[in-house]
Amino acid sequence: MDKFEYKVISYDTTGFFGGNVNTGELENRLNQLGNDGWEIVSSASTNQSYGSSKSLVFIFKRKKEQ
């Protein structure tokens, strides 16, 4: 039976009220994790105020080496 390991990362947004995402930086980070075998299984935005996001949370998984 396959076994998996999981990783949770939080990516903080920028700006006075939050919500600004440096997409190039985020894309590079996600690509690094993908190259290491991690696959995104879920993502969520944490609400700060008036609908702006304080951070983005990503959950990854990869098959555990046996």
User: What integer pLDDT is reported at residue 17 of this predicted model?
Assistant: 74
Q: Is 65 helix (H, G, I), strand (E, B) or coil?
A: coil
- What pLDDT, on a 0 to 100 scale, did the predictor assign at position 16? 75
pLDDT lower than 50: segments of the chain: none
User: Total domain count for the chain?
Assistant: 1
Question: How high is the pLDDT of residue 53?
Answer: 79
Residue 54: the pLDDT is 85
SS3 30: helix
The rounded distance, in Å, linking the Cα atoms of 30 and 13 is 15
Going by C-alpha positions, the residue among 27, 31, 34, 35 that lies closest to residue 56 is: 27
Query: Which domain, by its residues, includes 20?
Result: 4-63
Cβ 46 vs Cβ 54: under 8 Å? yes
